[in-house]
C-alpha cells in the first residue's frame, strides 16, 4: 500500500546547488549581428496581414500610413515627414524583435533539416521478405529493418533486437545510446543512425509529422500558439488602445474651442505615444524566446502553454532514483549479526557476488577487497562452483561451492531460505535490515549453509547517494512556493530517510502508476498545477494528466506522445530548470508590461504641454523637462517610443533574471526596478533627444 507522508527535514546549512547551464548557439543568447540578419524578415512582416495579428502594432501601422499620406499632401512639412519616418521605425523595430527571436531558432532548424535526407527504408512484407521504399512512403504500423550504418527512416518503436544508435543530430551528444525492444528504451527517432547490430522498428508517425518535423516548426516559431495569459494580455492592450483612441478622437473639438488646432499628424503621434506600444512590440518576442531558452537546454516544448504552465507550477513530482539520488547503489558496509564477524560477512558477500555483474554486485566485491583485504577472486578459480543467478521471483543470488551454500538477497527471501534449509534466523537479522532501511539504505542479507547449519551471517548496506546540491535546490523551490514530492518504489522507511536527507517536502512510497495518477488528481483538485517526469509506457497516463509532463527522449513513444515536453538529454533533474524558465517567462512579461505602462507618464508631460500650453499658459508648469519647442517635444516622445523597443530587445530575449524569492518580494523588486525605472528613464531619454534635436538646424 502506498503512503504519502510529510518529510520532516531538519534545518541545516546546505551546499550551493548547481546553477542551470545554458547551451549557447552562435553569438549567445543575444547576438547583435542577428539584428542585421533579421532585417529582411522585419521588412516582410510589414505586410498588413501579419500586422493585424498584433492589435497595438496594427494601430501604429495604420498611423504610419496616415502620416505618410499627410506628408505626401504637404511635401514641405519636415515635421510630418520626420514623425512618419519614426512611426515606421517603431513598427519595424517591433517586427525586428520578433524576427530576431525567430531567427535564433533557424540555425538549429537548418541543422535538423539536414537529417531529413531522402532515406530509403527496408520495409518488411507479410511473408518476411524486404522491399525498398522511400522513407516518405512509410505509414503507421509499417515494419522496417535497420542495420549498422542505416539511417532510421521514421519515428517508431523497436519491436525486435537491440542496437547502438547515434542520436547526435537530435541531442547534440556524441555518445551513442542503446535502443532495445520490450522496455522503456524502445523509442527511436527518424534521422538518427544505427551504429551496430540489427533491429526491426514499427513506424508510429506519419511522414511530415515526425519528431524532427515538429522540432523544426517549433524552434522556428511557425507552430507557436499564443498562450491563454498572452491572449488575455493582448485583449487588455487592445482595450487600452481603444480607450486612448477614443480620447484622441475627442481632443480636436476641445482644442478648437480653446483656440488651438491639432493636426492629424500630431494626433497620430499622441495616440502612438499613449498606447502601450513597448509591450505590444515585444510580447511575441518574449513568448518565442521563452521556448527558445528551453531549446537551448535541449528541451522541446509541444506548445507555449506548457512553458507558461511551468511558471505557475506549485507541485513538483520527482523520481528518487536518478533524479534525487545518483541511481547506482553501492555497498557502504557489512553489518554482522550476533555471533559472527564483519570479516565473515564480507567473505561470504564477496563469494556470492562474483557472478553478479550489476553495479551493486561489483561494489560488494570491491568493498570486501578494500576494507578487509580480501583478494578479489574470480569465477574460474572456484572449480565445480554452481552459480545461482538473481531472478525477480527468488530475489536472491549466490553460489554453491565445496559443500557450502551462500545466498545474498532481499531480507524476506533470505529469511525464508534459511528456514527452508532447516536453520533459524538470528533474532537481530530483521532488526539490522530495518535499521539499514530506516537510514535510507537498502539491506541485503547474507546467509550460508555449511557444517554449522543454515544461518544468517549479516547484511550488506547498499546506499544510493543523494546528489550534491539537491537540498539547496529544493530549498530554492520552497522559497518559490513550490512543493516537492519524491516518488519511489522503496519501502516507507527507506523513502522517509532519503526524503529527509534530500530535503523534499513529501514522499510517495511503494508508488504504482495508479498511485501517481491519484496523487496528481488530488493536487489538481486543490487548485495546484503539477509537473512530473517519466519515460515508460506506464508513466504515460500520469504524464498526460500532469499540467507539465516532461517525457525523456530515451523513453517510449507513448510517454513522448503523452507529455507536453520532451527532454532530449533524458535528464530528470532538468524539470527544476524547466520550472525556472517558465517563471522567468512570466516575470519577463510582467516586468516589461509594468515598464511599458509606466513610461507613458513621461510622454504625457512632454506632449500635453506642447499641445495646449499656447492656449492655456498654466500648463507650461507640466513641462518639467523644459523641452525646447512643441514640435521638439512631440518628436522627442515619438523617437524615444521607437528607440526604447530596440533597447529592450536583448532583455526580452534573455529574460529578466530570476531569483528564488517569495511572490511579495518579487513584486516589490520588479515594481522598484521596472515600475520606477519606467517612470524615470523616459524623462531622461526624452530630454536628451530634445537637446539633440535642438542642435539640428531648422529648414
Task: Report the binding-site residues for Mg(2+).
Answer: 535, 539
Q: What dihedral angle (degrees, nearest 10) is formed by the CA atoms of 608, 691, 241, 615? A: 20
Euclidean distance between CA atoms 261 and 238, whole angstroms: 28
Q: Which residues of 434-473 are buried (b: 16+ CB within 10 A; e: fewer)?
A: ebbbebbbbbbbbbbbeeeebbbbbbbbbbbebbeebbbb
Give binding residues as ranges.
Answer: 356, 360, 390-397, 408, 535, 539
Residues with Cβ within 8 Å of residue 648, at least 6 apart in sequence: 278, 282, 592, 595
Count CB-CB contacts under 10 A for residue 681: 18
> How many CA atoms lie within 13 Å of 315's alpha carbon, on the beta-carbon side?
21
Euclidean distance between CA atoms 191 and 488, whole angstroms: 35
What does the block give as the cell for 435?
Answer: 535499521
Euclidean distance between CA atoms 394 and 392, whole angstroms: 6
Euclidean distance between CA atoms 392 and 413, whole angstroms: 11
Q: What is the DSSP letter of 563?
A: S
Set 292, 319, 347, 505: catalytic member: 319
- Candidates 559, 513, 551, 571; CA nearest to 157 is 559
> How many CA atoms lie within 13 Å of 55's alpha carbon, on the beta-carbon side?
16
Give the H or E element holding residue 465: none
Told to judge if 464 belongs to the known catalytic residues of this protein, a careful annotator would answer no
- 3-state SS, 139-196, equals CCCCEEEEECCCECCCCEEEEEEEEEEECHHHHCCCCCEEEECCCCCCEECCCCEEEE
Residues with Cβ within 8 Å of residue 645, at least 6 apart in sequence: 90, 93, 94, 97, 277, 278, 281, 282
- 3-state SS, 210-254, equals CHHHHHHHHHHCCCCCCCHHHHHHHHHHHHHHHHHHHHHHHHHHH
- Which residues are tagged catalytic? 319
Amino acid at each position: 500500500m502506498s503512503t504519502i507522508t510529510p518529510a520532516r527535514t531538519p534545518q541545516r546549512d546546505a551546499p550551493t546547488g548547481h546553477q542551470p547551464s545554458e547551451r549557447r548557439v552562435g553569438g549567445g543568447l543575444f547576438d547583435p549581428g542577428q539584428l542585421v540578419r533579421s532585417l529582411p524578415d522585419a521588412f516582410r512582416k510589414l505586410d498588413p496581414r501579419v500586422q493585424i495579428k498584433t492589435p497595438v502594432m496594427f494601430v501604429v501601422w495604420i498611423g504610419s500610413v496616415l502620416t505618410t499620406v499627410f506628408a505626401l499632401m504637404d511635401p514641405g512639412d519636415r515635421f510630418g515627414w520626420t514623425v512618419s519616418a519614426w512611426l515606421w521605425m517603431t513598427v519595424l523595430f517591433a517586427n525586428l524583435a520578433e524576427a530576431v527571436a525567430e531567427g535564433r531558432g533557424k540555425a538549429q532548424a537548418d541543422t535538423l533539416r539536414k537529417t531529413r535526407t531522402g532515406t530509403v527504408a527496408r520495409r518488411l512484407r507479410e511473408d518476411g521478405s524486404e522491399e525498398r521504399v522511400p522513407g516518405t512512403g512509410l505509414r503507421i504500423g509499417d515494419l522496417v529493418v535497420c542495420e549498422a550504418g542505416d539511417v532510421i527512416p521514421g519515428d517508431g518503436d523497436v519491436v525486435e533486437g537491440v542496437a547502438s544508435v547515434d542520436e547526435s543530430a537530435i541531442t547534440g551528444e556524441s555518445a551513442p545510446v542503446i535502443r532495445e525492444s520490450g522496455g522503456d528504451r524502445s523509442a527511436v527517432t527518424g534521422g538518427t543512425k544505427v551504429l551496430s547490430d540489427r533491429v526491426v522498428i514499427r513506424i508510429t508517425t506519419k511522414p511530415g509529422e515526425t519528431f524532427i518535423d515538429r522540432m523544426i516548426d517549433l524552434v522556428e516559431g511557425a507552430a507557436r500558439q499564443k498562450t491563454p495569459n498572452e491572449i488575455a494580455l493582448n485583449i487588455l492592450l487592445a482595450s487600452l488602445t481603444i480607450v486612448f483612441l477614443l480620447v484622441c478622437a475627442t481632443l480636436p473639438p476641445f482644442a478648437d474651442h480653446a483656440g488651438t488646432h491639432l493636426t492629424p499628424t500630431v494626433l497620430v503621434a499622441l495616440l502612438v505615444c499613449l498606447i502601450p506600444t513597448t509591450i505590444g512590440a515585444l510580447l511575441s518576442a518574449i513568448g518565442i524566446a521563452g521556448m527558445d531558452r528551453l531549446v537551448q537546454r535541449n528541451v522541446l516544448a509541444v506548445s507555449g502553454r506548457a512553458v507558461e504552465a511551468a511558471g505557475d507550477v506549485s507541485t513538483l513530482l520527482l523520481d528518487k532514483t536518478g533524479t534525487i539520488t545518483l541511481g547506482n547503489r553501492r555497498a557502504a558496509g557489512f553489518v554482522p549479526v550476533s555471533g559472527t564477524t564483519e570479516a565473515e560477512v564480507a567473505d561470504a558477500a564477496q563469494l556470492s557476488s562474483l557472478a553478479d555483474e550489476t553495479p551493486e554486485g561489483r561494489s560488494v566485491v570491491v568493498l570486501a577487497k578494500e576494507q578487509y583485504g580480501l583478494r578479489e577472486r574470480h569465477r574460474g578459480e572456484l572449480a565445480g562452483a554452481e552459480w545461482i543467478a538473481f531472478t525477480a521471483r527468488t530475489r536472491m543470488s549466490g553460489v554453491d561451492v565445496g559443500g557450502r551454500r551462500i545466498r545474498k538477497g532481499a531480507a524476506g527471501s533470505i529469511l525464508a531460505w534459511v528456514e527452508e534449509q532447516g536453520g533459524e534466523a538470528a533474532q537481530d537479522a530483521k532488526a539490522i535490515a530495518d535499521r539499514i532501511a530506516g537510514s535510507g539504505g537498502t539491506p541485503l542479507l547474507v546467509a550460508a549453509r555449511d557444517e554449522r547449519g543454515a544461518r544468517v551471517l549479516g547484511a550488506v548496506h547498499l546506499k544510493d547517494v543523494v546528489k550534491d546540491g539537491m537540498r539547496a535546490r529544493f530549498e530554492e523551490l520552497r522559497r518559490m512556493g513550490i512543493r516537492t514530492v519524491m516518488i519511489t518504489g522503496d519501502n516507507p522507511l527507506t523513502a522517509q530517510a532519503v526524503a529527509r536527507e534530500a530535503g523534499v517536502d513529501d514522499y510517495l512510497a511503494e508508488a504504482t502508476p495508479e498511485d501517481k495518477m491519484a496523487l496528481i488528481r488530488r493536487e489538481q483538485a486543490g487548485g495546484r498545477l503539477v509537473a512530473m517526469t517519466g519515460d515508460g509506457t506506464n508513466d504515460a497516463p500520469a504524464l498526460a494528466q500532469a499540467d507539465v509532463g516532461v517525457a525523456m527522449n530515451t523513453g517510449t513513444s507513448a510517454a513522448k506522445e503523452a507529455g507536453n515536453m520532451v527532454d532530449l538529454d533524458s535528464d530528470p533533474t532538468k524539470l527544476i530548470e524547466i520550472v525556472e524558465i517558465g517563471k522567468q517567462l512570466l516575470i519577463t512579461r510582467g516586468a516589461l508590461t509594468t515598464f511599458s505602462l509606466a513610461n507613458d507618464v513621461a510622454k504625457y508631460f512632454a506632449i500635453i504641454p506642447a499641445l495646449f500650453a499656447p492656449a492655456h499658459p498654466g500648463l507650461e508648469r507640466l513641462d518639467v523637462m523644459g523641452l525646447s519647442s512643441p514640435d521638439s517635444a512631440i518628436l522627442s516622445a515619438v523617437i524615444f517610443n521607437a528607440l526604447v523597443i530596440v533597447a529592450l530587445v536583448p532583455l526580452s530575449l534573455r529574460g529578466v533574471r530570476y531569483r528564488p524569492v517569495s511572490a511579495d518580494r518579487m513584486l516589490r523588486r520588479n515594481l522598484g526596478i521596472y515600475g520606477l525605472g519606467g517612470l524615470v528613464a523616459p524623462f531622461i531619454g526624452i530630454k536628451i533627444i530634445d537637446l539633440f534635436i535642438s542642435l539640428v538646424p531648422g529648414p
